[in-house]
Amino acid sequence: MNKINWKREARLLPGYLIVGVWVVFTAVMLFWIVGASFSTSREIFSGQIFKFESGFHFENYITAWNAQNVSVFFANSLLYSVISCVGVLAISAPAAYVLSRWEFTGGKTLRIGLVTAMSVPVIMVIMPIYSLSVQWGIKGRVLLVILYILLRVPYTTIYLLDFFSTLSRTYEEAAYLDGCSGPKTFLKIMLPLVQPAIITVTIFNFMSVWNEFFMALIFTSSESMAPVGVGLLNIINSMKYTGQYGGMFAAVIIVFLPTFLLYIFMSEKIIAGVTGGGVKG
Amino acid sequence: MRKNKAMIFWFCLPALLSLVLMFVYPVCRTVLMSFFQVESVTATMADWSFYGLGNYTKIFGSASFMISMRNMLLIWFVGGIFTLAIAMLMAVTVTSGIRGKKFFRAAIYMPNIISAVALATMWIQYIFNYDYGLLNEIVQFLGGDKVKWLGTDLKFWAMTGSFIFGSVGYYMLIYISGIEGIPQDLYEAATIDGASKVHQFTHITLPLLKGVMKTSVTFWSINATTFYLWSKMFSPIDTESSTIVPVIYLYDIVFGGKGITKRDAGAGAAVGVVLTLIIIVVYLITERLFRGSDLEY
């Protein structure tokens, strides 16, 4: 362990203060919400939440989970996120592989198209998509899953493409000499080699779909298919009538937990991924 | 390596179809639609009637659209200055050699990974709450009177402030990656020459960060023009002029909202085109302003 150089630390004190205040503020906010999620509405309003005089109100979570339908929203979000993560890989990984390996007619155009699509605002696409979905009679959960998959294709393809291009071609040459077909080489040899990139991109896709709000608001016609974001908004809007503040804060925690836990365990990977892909100076 | 044409074709086809279906076709149709009078978003092209620039004159003549544009520009400009400045401050601090760098970096970025609906709820229901909120506790502790943070006067700034809090971490990461790309010996040489930390920041760090600044301004512009969720959270049921932004306006006229008697998908498309043009113009301007920033060390 290094000896602490107090002179040096003292010079850095303003720095510690700056980031310290910010982080303490964040922590206070989170702790308070957790405290409130175990309290009654009366305790929240009288500022008594951390005394727990009337005990821990775990039933807030049960109320939120059952009566306020958080279980439904949670299951929906899980369903949307998991299926779209798998679906988008099935579309993006093969394309990323061949785009990184061969020059061919239209390859460059496709690549530019994918990069451009990453910064197309969603508002430019929702109206035609809405009318197409009505015309083709696709709706509900199926529609949302399809949209989430298609929405994540450009980012996923470009991210994987960068990784495939770092792999040596000797793998394929060896496989070819052994009589392994192109698609088989891709599945059995190349895909396992980019596994770390697949994990990172899947974490990002998962969080992005889990937190998606705009499309969910437009394309979910009933509460039974709403994901967590839209569901939480509904809970808050009905707060006026229910007065269940503890239940609402419990719902906030339930919505917040999955991505937060993922982050606790994978923050290094996630942070490296944020600036690793598209962001270059 | 042998080029397997069939494999290339079949491997690219799904991605190509996704791109066309989700982006190329919809964007083209939206642009086209903005020049036609279209009432319902589901109307077939046969029901469209050519309108020239009519949709554009309509939205620029609409009081609520102009208010929404003003709000958006304020978020873009004021919010942008604060977000990017705080992000830069945090990035410089985190990389200044403090202990627990990884922890601070992860903690400051954290609000970006949780559901924005949950984050906005924390701010609205706790920080800004009139009865038990953190800000009013602080105000009272300092001897002041409780403030109605979510009243009509302050609501916009409450919304912008909490949005800034939620955004800082992302831009901080961009700046950190830029700062860590600057060779350390530049700072060592400057220290030997007797340059202060502030001097080093203004003469080494800032000029060498031009590239990442360009990226961050472009990303911020996209975020600010498509600002939506926080506005919806701060005015969840009815659209209010204090928090209205163009995307809320678009949503209301296309899908229906309070005070909308006749839906107008054509005008909605025009709003989308205007916002996209703003993003493109800002992008081109920043490209020009930060030209010559591709550095090699």
User: Is residue A270 within 8 angstroms of chain B, CB to CB?
Assistant: yes
List pLDDT tens digits, range A63-115: 888 878 899 999 999 999 999 999 999 999 999 999 998 888 889 999 999 99
Residue A223 DSSP class: G
Please name which of A119, A187, A126 lies closest in space to residue A158, comparing C-alpha atoms.
A119
Hey, what are B31's tokens?
């642009």
User: Is residue A200 within 8 angstroms of chain B, CB to CB?
Assistant: no
User: Is residue A275 within 8 angstroms of chain B, CB to CB?
Assistant: yes
Q: Provide the shortest C-alpha distance from residue A142 to chain B (in Å).
A: 15
Residues of chain B contacting A274 with CB distance shorter than 8 Å: 109, 170, 173
Asked if A92 and A157 count as a contact pair (C-beta separation under 8 A), the reply is yes
Q: Provide the shortest C-alpha distance from residue A149 to chain B (in Å).
A: 9
List pLDDT tens digits, range B242-279: 899 999 999 999 988 766 778 899 999 999 999 999 99
The continuous run of DSSP H or E covering B37 comes out as strand B36-37
Q: Provide the shortest C-alpha distance from residue A233 to chain B (in Å).
A: 7
> CA A269 to CA A263: how far, in whole Å?
9
Please name which of B180, B178, B189 lies closest in space to residue B211, comparing C-alpha atoms.
B178
Residues of chain B contacting A127 with CB distance shorter than 8 Å: 26, 29-30, 33, 41, 254, 265, 268-269, 272
List pLDDT tens digits, range B139-193: 999 988 888 998 888 999 999 999 999 999 999 999 999 898 888 888 888 888 8
- Per cent of chain B over pLDDT 70 is 97
Judge: A270–B211 Cβ closer than 8 Å, yes or no. Answer: no
Judge: B94–A19 Cβ closer than 8 Å, yes or no. Answer: yes
- Across the interface, which of A186, A229, A262 has its CB nearest the CB of B117? A229
Q: Which residue of A has its CA nearest to B137?
A: A47
pTM: 0.89
Judge: A124–B27 Cβ closer than 8 Å, yes or no. Answer: yes
- Across the interface, which of A90, A154, A211 has its CB nearest the CB of B19? A154
- Across the interface, which of A27, A217, A252 has its CB nearest the CB of B122? A252
Q: Which residue of A has its CA nearest to B13?
A: A95
Residues of chain A contacting B113 with CB distance shorter than 8 Å: 207, 259-260, 262-263, 270
Judge: A127–B254 Cβ closer than 8 Å, yes or no. Answer: yes
- Across the interface, which of B94, B132, B251 has its CB nearest the CB of A45? B132
Counting Cβ atoms within 10 Å, is residue A113 exposed (0-12), middle (13-18) or buried (19+)? middle
ipTM score of the complex? 0.87
> CA A106 to CA B168: how far, in whole Å?
39
The pLDDT value recorded for residue A240 is 65
- Across the interface, which of A22, A122, A214 has its CB nearest the CB of B90? A22
Q: Which residue of A has its CA nearest to B91?
A: A19
The pLDDT value recorded for residue A281 is 32
User: Is residue A113 within 8 angstroms of chain B, CB to CB?
Assistant: yes
Q: Provide the shortest C-alpha distance from residue A166 to chain B (in Å).
A: 16
Cβ pairs bridging A and B (under 8 Å): 261
The pLDDT value recorded for residue A5 is 79
Top pLDDT among A209 and B2 is at: A209
> CA B121 to CA B127: how far, in whole Å?
9
> CA A172 to CA A190: how far, in whole Å?
8
Residues of chain B contacting A46 with CB distance shorter than 8 Å: 132
Please name which of B109, B227, B231, B212 lies closest in space to residue B168, comparing C-alpha atoms.
B109
Q: Provide the shortest C-alpha distance from residue B118 to chain A (in Å).
A: 5
The pLDDT value recorded for residue B153 is 85
> Does the pLDDT of residue B59 top 90, yes or no?
yes
pLDDT band at residue A267 using 50, 70 and 90 as cut-offs: confident
Q: Which residue of B has its CA nearest to A274?
A: B173
- Backbone torsions φ then ψ of A19, nearest 5 degrees: -70, -30
**DSSP states of B155-190:** HHHHHHHHHHHHHHHHHHHHHHHHHHTS-HHHHHHH
Judge: B134–A101 Cβ closer than 8 Å, yes or no. Answer: no
User: For tokens 């800034």, what's the residue?
Assistant: B164
> CA B195 to CA B202: how far, in whole Å?
11
Residues of chain A contacting B206 with CB distance shorter than 8 Å: none
Please name which of B118, B187, B37 lies closest in space to residue A251, comparing C-alpha atoms.
B118
pLDDT band at residue A278 using 50, 70 and 90 as cut-offs: very low
Asked if A171 and A193 count as a contact pair (C-beta separation under 8 A), the reply is yes
> CA A246 to CA A254: how far, in whole Å?
12
- Ramachandran class of A231: left when φ > 0, alpha when ψ lies in -120 to 50, beta otherwise: alpha
* Averaged pLDDT for residues B44-68: 90
